[in-house]
Structure 1
Amino acid sequence: MSLSQEPTLSALNKYFVCGVRDITGESYAGASGRHDNFGNAIVTTNGAGPHNIQIFMLAADGTVLNCLPGYWSTQDLYQEISLAYQLNQIWQNQSLSVGDKQTYFRTMQLAHIQHHSPAMSRRSRMQGFDLQYEKEHRPNSDFFSGYPNGRAKTVDVVMHQRMAARPFVAYEHFDVANYCDYGKPMYDKEEDYRDSSGHVDQFAARGAPKLGNLESTSRKGYREQPDPRLWGQDQSGTSRKLWGQEQMPAGSTTWGLAK
C-alpha cells in the first residue's frame, strides 16, 4: 500500500483525520520483520499481513464504516474509501431507523463486490503460503465455503462478506480477532535481504530482527522457515467530498471522521 499516490493522498490530506494505534501485544496481533524508513519495498497483494495491520474507516462517533485487513494497493483503497463515504451518509441520516441503516449497510457491502474490477480481484488473491496455512489450519474457512475443488475466494470478497455481518458496529466492540483471522500470523517478505534479481539471501535473512507478537505466532503453529516454494506465490489492477471535513483542527490526534 502506498498512501503517497493520487488520488488517495489528496483524499487523506484534505478530508481525513488520520492516526495509528500500536496493536503490539493484542491477542490477534501477528509479527513481521523490522522495516526501516528507508528500507526496500516490494509489491504485495491486497489483504496481505492481516494480523499486522487493519485500516479502519470510522464515523465521527467511532462507528466502523469499513475495515481493510492487511495491506492494500492505493487504487483499491480509494474505492473502499468511497464506499465508507456513502455508508457514512446512511449512518448520519436521521430519517432512517437503526434497522434500516443496518439493512443498507449489509446490502451496500455485498453489492460493492460486484463493482470490483478484474484487476482488483487479481490483486486480492491470497498468497500461496497464506492459502496453504488456511487449508491446513482452517479447512472450513469462509474462504472456501461455496467454492468447489479447493478453490478460494479472493480477500476482497471475504472482506465485504465479513463486514456485512458487522453493520455499524462501534470500534470498541468490533471483533478484530475474528475479522482479520486468516493466513499466517507471521508475515514478512524480507525486502531488505533481496538481491537485484529479487531473490532472498537466506543466510542474511536468517538472523534478521523480528517485531510483534512472536509468542502468539509460535502458539499458532508458525514455522519460522516457510516452504520457499510457496513464498510469494499467488493463487489462481463541482467535486464530491469524501467523508471527513475540509478544515482539520491543529494538533488533532483522533482518527476517522472529523466532528
Structure 2
Amino acid sequence: MITNAQLDNEKATLTFEVELMKDRYTELEEAHTQLTKEHRKKCTEYEQLRKVSTKLQEEVKILRSMLQERDQLIQEYGLVVMGEEENGDDADHIEEDDDVDDLSPRKLSVKKVLVSQEAAELLSKGAAKGSLDVRLRKFGEEKNDLEDQVRRLKLELEEERNKNRRRENGLDYEKQKEQSKTVNEYKFRVQKAEAEVSTLQANVVRLDALLTRYKTQSEELESSEEELKLEKRKLQRELRDAQSRLEELETTNNHLIKRFDKLKNARSNLLKDLSQDPA
C-alpha cells in the first residue's frame, strides 16, 4: 500500500512537472514567434533605411554636382550670390518639430539667388531695405511709375505736336467752324443720298417683283404660243391632207366627166347612126 501511494505521488509529481514543461515550451514558442516577427520587422526597417540611405547618398552626389556647377557658373560669368540668411531660432524650431522617425528625403528651401554684379550693386545701393522680394517689388513699382511718366510725356508731346501742326496750318476757329458747317452739309447730303438710295432700292425690289411676274406671264404665253403653233401645224397638216384628197376627188371627177362626155358622144353617134339607117 505504501509503495502504491509513493508511486501515485511520484506520478502526480511527474505529471505536474510535465505540465509545467509543456507550459514552459508553449511560452518559449510564443516568445520565439514574437522574436521572429520582431526580426522580420527589423529586417524590413533595415531595408527601408538602406534604401533611404542610398537615395540620400544619390541626392548628396547630385547636390554636390549642382554646387560645383553653380561655383563654375559663378566663376565664369562673375555672378554674385544674394539673399537672406535664416534665423537660428527658426532653424532650431524646425529641427525640433521634425519627426525623428520620418526618414523620407527632405527638400531644401532655396532662399538665395544668383545675380550679376550690376544687379547686385543696384540692389545693394537701392533705397528699399528688407528682403530680396521687397526690393524687387520696389524696383517693379518704380519701373511702373517711370513707364507711366513716359506715357504721360508721350501724350503731352503728341498734344503739343498737334497744336503746333494746327498753328502751322493756320487753322483758326472761324475756319474750323466753316469746315464743320461744310462737313455737316456733306453729312446732310449723304443722308439725303442714302434716303434716295433706299427709295431706289425699294423701287428696284418692286420692279424686280414686276419683272418676275412678267417673266412668269411671258413663259406662260410662250408655252401657249407653242401649243398654238403645234395646233396650227396640226391644222395645216390636216388642211394639206384635205387639199390632197380634194385634188384627188377633182381629178377623179374630171376623169368621170370626160368618160361621161365620151359616153354621151358615143350615144349621140349611135343614135345618129340608128336614125340614118333605113328601116
Q: TM-score range by the shorter chain?
A: under 0.3
Q: TM-score, normalised by structure 2?
A: 0.17
Of the two structures, which has the highest relative contact order with CA contacts closer than 8 Å and spacing of 6 or more? Answer: 1
Bigger share in helix: 2
Larger Rg: 2
Q: TM-score, normalised by structure 1?
A: 0.18
